Amino acid sequence: GENVEQHPSTLSVQEGDSAVIKCTYSDSASNYFPWYKQELGKRPQLIIDIRSNVGEKKDQRIAVTLNKTAKHFSLHITETQPEDSAVYFCAASLGTDGLTFGKGTHLIIQP
């Protein structure tokens, strides 16, 4: 089955700087790659996603890039703000299957 690796496990950045979280997946057939943000005690919330026929997608301060050849995708957050502090999960799936998640990255925004 699919395996998703996520790095780093913890990321601390100064407010206003950029943050990058990286994931790799094992199943070349996977075609959907979402990113979720989970605040303490709350449900995961989708922040951005990308399909395998697209190399990059951007939504305001958040962007995701996908390299299908390398089976690698990344989340980029620019101009970080205190409210960006949370745990971020990448995931991968094939078609309408359930999601396989990475282990998560605890993002800390230092004031």
Partner 1 sequence: SAVISQKPSRDICQRGTSLTIQCQVDSQVTMMFWYRQQPGQSLTLIATANQGSEATYESGFVIDKFPISRPNLTFSTLTVSNMSPEDSSIYLCSTRLAGTDTQYFGPGTRLTVL
Binding site for partner 1 (CB under 8 A): 1, 32, 34, 42-46, 49, 51, 89, 93, 96-104
As measured in angstroms, the least distance from the Cβ of 83 to partner 1 is: 20
As measured in angstroms, the least distance from the Cβ of 79 to partner 1 is: 25
Q: Which is nearer to partner 1, 58 or 79 (CB)?
A: 58
Q: Which is nearer to partner 1, 104 or 109 (CB)?
A: 104
DSSP for the chain reads ---EEEE-SEEEEETTS-EEEEEEES-TT--EEEEEEE-TTS--EEEEEEETT-SEEEETTEEEEEETTTTEEEEEE-S--GGG-EEEEEEEB-TTSPPEE---EEEEEE-
As measured in angstroms, the least distance from the Cβ of 108 to partner 1 is: 15
